[in-house]
Amino acid sequence: MSENNEDRKLMAAYRRNLVIVFVMAVLLAGSIIFSALQTVYIYRLNTGKTGLLDYTSGESTEEGEGGSVHSLSSSSEDLPEPWFSLEDAAGATNTGKQRLSVTDIVDKVSPATVSLYIRGKVNGATRNISSGSAFIISEDGYAVTNAHVVSSVATGDQDYELCASIHGNKELIQCEVVGIDTQTDCAVIKLKEGRKYDHVTLGNSSDLRVGELAVAIGNALGTLDGTVTVGVISSLDRTISHEQYRLPVIQTDAAINSGNSGGALINSFGEVIGITNAKMVVNQSEGLGFAIPIDTVKPVIESLINYGKVVNRAYLGVTVAQVEEDSYYGSVPGVYVYEYVKDGPADKAGLRNGDRIIKMDGIAINETDDIIVIRDKHKVGDTIEFEIERDGKQMKIELVVGDGSEYEGNSTVSSQPDDPGSTAPSGRTDPTDPSGSTDPSGSGEDGDDFIPDVFGAKK
């Protein structure tokens, strides 16, 4: 009897071991198959044989909701005739596009990539203070980078100088800042004259598809010039809060490190479709990088080169705050005027601090982004009808859209506790009152709830 029990135990153990061996064999086979498929996919992606669905279609005709630069109009009676065109300088000349391998992309674009260095005196010696990246867009030396990379030099501070080195050449080339735009974090610089420069070809970021190949080239960490990282387009519908503005961005898993700011994000045709921005990368995050879409900044680049500033950008001259239900005693949820630019479009139209914006162009305003979308559908000189509530009474006013470049340096009128529309009783905090909180949204440190100064009114 005991021998039979022993045999049954041995048989059960044998069967268990057999099942374990079988499961391990299946898992091992699955891992081998997955690794093989992944290797093939990466090879096909890097050689341009997959990941580009209908990319060669024409420019999208859909109207984007982000990126206020789409509000730039094409002409102005007071401006001289523009002499610089990106289409002429860096437009694609080969209509029969062919996808390139990563190595071919690098060979094509690297000669036009630039490492930037802000240099200044430290203990009597000239040293690199900060660094960044850029890419050349014309043979006479115009280059594009991020505004935050060169902002210290753009102020005209004589203690700093801007120098550049082209990949593969350690020569430091003197540069000057042509113009910067903090709203899009875009800047144009000019390398010294006297030679012809290789330059990039600009693509159309509006044609991108999620999953496409993305290649970034830049001055990683400020010391590793010409660093190449490879990934894919991870998302196209991201929006970042930047310097009190909302900015549409491309998300990629191509590594973007400190020093990469201002560098080129490139598609499979070797065309620049974005400006990489390391400032937007979340600390301690991997596989999460952002780039400013090139279509967003094309009109900005041309305007900076032609006029030294961004002109014909739709401008309302008002800052708003989102008030949530129960934000304070007696609060009425909605979007309120927080401050306005003196003698700006909003001021001239009659908007005042504490006004609750109910509608614009007949469209209900429920959050701050609703105003951005409507503004960006207009150009300078258009009229927008506002429906507002002030002291419990509804009224309509008309605002003529202004040109943001005409109001640089104008002072602002901020909300005060006794402003019209302030309904908070004594002892309570009105979110439209800056004395109650530095964050008009009442959101504290939550960056996702940041209320951007989307209309150019500087605090």
Active site members: 148, 185, 261
Residue with tokens 């159309």: 204
Determine the 3-state secondary structure of 274 from DSSP: strand
Chain centroid, CA 194 distance in Å:
33
CA dist., res. 187 & res. 176, Å (int): 11
Chain centroid, CA 439 distance in Å:
22
Contact status, residue 208 vs residue 232, Cβ threshold 8 Å:
no
Which 3-state string (H, E, C) describes 283-316? CCCCCCEEEEEHHHHHHHHHHHHHHCCCCCCEEC
CA dist., res. 90 & res. 101, Å (int): 21
Contact status, residue 236 vs residue 208, Cβ threshold 8 Å:
yes
Q: How far is CA 129 from CA 92, 160, 434, 446, in A?
A: 36, 9, 36, 31
Contact status, residue 295 vs residue 207, Cβ threshold 8 Å:
no
Chain centroid, CA 150 distance in Å:
17
Q: How far is CA 409 from CA 370, 452, 456, in A?
A: 26, 18, 10
Q: What is the helix (H) or strand (E) element at residue 97, kind and residue range?
A: none
Residue 34, C-beta contacts closer than 8 angstroms, at least 6 positions apart: none
CA dist., res. 233 & res. 439, Å (int): 34
The two beta strands, 264-266 and 402-403, are unpaired
CA dist., res. 232 & res. 254, Å (int): 7
Residue 428, C-beta contacts closer than 8 angstroms, at least 6 positions apart: 328, 329, 330
How many CB atoms lie under 10 A from the CB of residue 37? 10
Contact status, residue 440 vs residue 327, Cβ threshold 8 Å:
no
* DSSP 8-class letter at 424: P
Torsion on CA atoms 436, 438, 440, 441, rounded to nearest 10: -110
Single out the residue of 259, 262, 263, 216 nearest to residue 128, CA to CA. 259
